[in-house]
Structure 1
């Protein structure tokens, strides 16, 4: 079922778009630097199958850090929570998402949570399979199932661009390998991770995945339980505490819904029991979040009382 254009949402989009001039696209990844900073679109998907939208929701976005939540769900199903949290912590951090600082001062040197890059690399390391292709195939199949779209793939140009500029993530991998938190070839892991971040879909797909998390892991359209309730709960909790990088506390106060952002300008929201939200606005604030996307969610949360707090 497609998405209906909605005039009320369009008013909010137009108001939120006024802040894009204060943001910048993620040009440190050359392929992402080509985006139009004034783009802004939203899809809101409800359990009864209805979907409302504003802006160009057909435009494709790469998941980037939004993929961290989906990979975490898969790995919790693959490995169980005890094994996962032996290698990665559960605590928020005030540091930037790509920081190495805390790893050096923690004992053991495991990453604080799965939403920062160091933690996400550990999670991706734990995806089961013999080869990069097999592991990536399992992740993409899971994403396709969640989004209800069998055509989802990854953007090869973005993946290549990220792999060529991945020196900070490479450093994190070597540090983690030194401390036996990861135990595979670093280049192999980075190949898998950059492909994971380059998985591509539109806002509607993003909203549908958000809805599955919002509905405790169940796809309300098919009635299928896509992940155990406890896995959905853990993922949503991380979205609240760490999903918006080191702006997560402020976001929880101003918006108050589980959400995960990515440096492509995507935001996936999961309003518990109510709706999934997919947003694309590539102009980022200094923390790496979509500046207009956050503004849009603030406006919607206030108007419709969406905060879970």
Structure 2
């Protein structure tokens, strides 16, 4: 058994041991905020996978259970948009933490239609507006689907039908965000076209193994030569990682940086994609969400991995395992 595999097995065991206490904490949080009580069964599932820059894949726990990646798709959409239009993208979207809920229309109004960052909903919708304008692909947001399929060696993706239906029949707040952006001249295409693109990327379904492998484009770091765009891709990756570090866990980003020390992006499907620059792409999943919308057990799992491997962007403790 490899050292990394042993670490992941130990992390799964520790997460399961601590899950009952975290469930009790979640119940107490729900009672304080008058939110719906969490489901105990959601604290009984946890998966993790690590894809290394060398091409190896190790996983443990419920790593084979598929889930909709939801907002994690915003990382892939940002990569496509940055590659397509470059730094001009930042004329339409900021790069700062919002300090407001991820779906806040008040924040967008204060910004006169300029979203605070690409990972809150208004920012992701402006990114989708850019992708709709690119053309050249069949079907809504085929751009994001194609990028992920390429990272998975041309594996065909599955879209979660329940996510497709709920976002299509609901999603009125997201439409309101788009109308606000359009009012300020920051949405160029019809609202329903942009909404369809957003729905399709959120519905992409992966398991931890697939998500870890899909994140490998963020490991590019070759500054020596520009073979097939490697240098420009590495520069994009650094920029995306910086936004993930600051904004990837919504209002929980500061606490996550303290506990885990890695750039990451969460989704309400319970997944989190974290990147160890130059070394590995890490995916965790557990469906129970904390008040910020991030996975309770997923965050704990990443914290434990960071402690056991010394993987962190802070300091020189990074090492291969």
**Runs of 5+ consecutive residues of structure 1 not aligned to the other structure:** 25-32
1:150 positional shift = 1.9
> Hey, what does 1:28 align to over in structure 2?
none
Residues 158 and 135 (structure 1), Cα distance of their counterparts in 2 relative to 1, 3 Å cut: closer
* Correspondence 1:14 to 2:20: no
In structure 2, distance between residues paired with 1:240 and 1:214: 15
Q: Number of paired residues?
A: 292
Correspondence 1:1-309 to 2 at 5 A = 6-17=5-16, 18-19=18-19, 21=23, 22-23=25-26, 36-82=42-88, 84-106=89-111, 108-127=112-131, 128-130=133-135, 133-216=138-221, 225=230, 228-309=233-314
In structure 1, distance between residues paired with 2:290 and 2:240: 24
Residues 37 and 104 (structure 1), Cα distance of their counterparts in 2 relative to 1, 3 Å cut: same
In structure 2, distance between residues paired with 1:195 and 1:227: 27
SS in 1 for 2:44: coil
Moved more, 233-242 or 89-98: 89-98
Contact 2:220 2:230 in 1 (8 A): no
If the length of structure 1 is used for normalisation, what is the TM-score?
A: 0.87
SS in 2 for 1:81: helix
1:11 positional shift = 2.3
Deviations, residues 218-240 of structure 1 (Å, cap 9, x unaligned): 9xxxx994971121111111110
Contact 1:267 1:290 in 2 (8 A): yes
In structure 1, distance between residues paired with 2:263 and 2:117: 16
If the length of structure 2 is used for normalisation, what is the TM-score?
A: 0.84
Deviations, residues 264-286 of structure 1 (Å, cap 9, x unaligned): 00000110111110111110000
SS in 2 for 1:125: helix
Residues 229 and 215 (structure 1), Cα distance of their counterparts in 2 relative to 1, 3 Å cut: closer
Contact 1:262 1:288 in 2 (8 A): yes
In structure 1, distance between residues paired with 2:144 and 2:276: 24
In structure 1, distance between residues paired with 2:137 and 2:159: 14
Structure with the greater relative contact order (CA < 8 A, sep ≥ 6): 1 or 2? 1
1:244 positional shift = 0.9
Residues 238 and 229 (structure 1), Cα distance of their counterparts in 2 relative to 1, 3 Å cut: same
Contact 1:217 1:232 in 2 (8 A): no
Residues 229 and 131 (structure 1), Cα distance of their counterparts in 2 relative to 1, 3 Å cut: closer
Deviations, residues 12-50 of structure 1 (Å, cap 9, x unaligned): 1232233352459xxxxxxxx9x8442110001112222
In structure 2, distance between residues paired with 1:146 and 1:226: 18
1:131 positional shift = 8.5
Deviations, residues 179-227 of structure 1 (Å, cap 9, x unaligned): 1100211122111101110111111111112332133499xxxx99497
In structure 1, distance between residues paired with 2:175 and 2:43: 29
Looking at secondary structure, tell me which structure has more helix per residue: 2
1:133 positional shift = 4.2
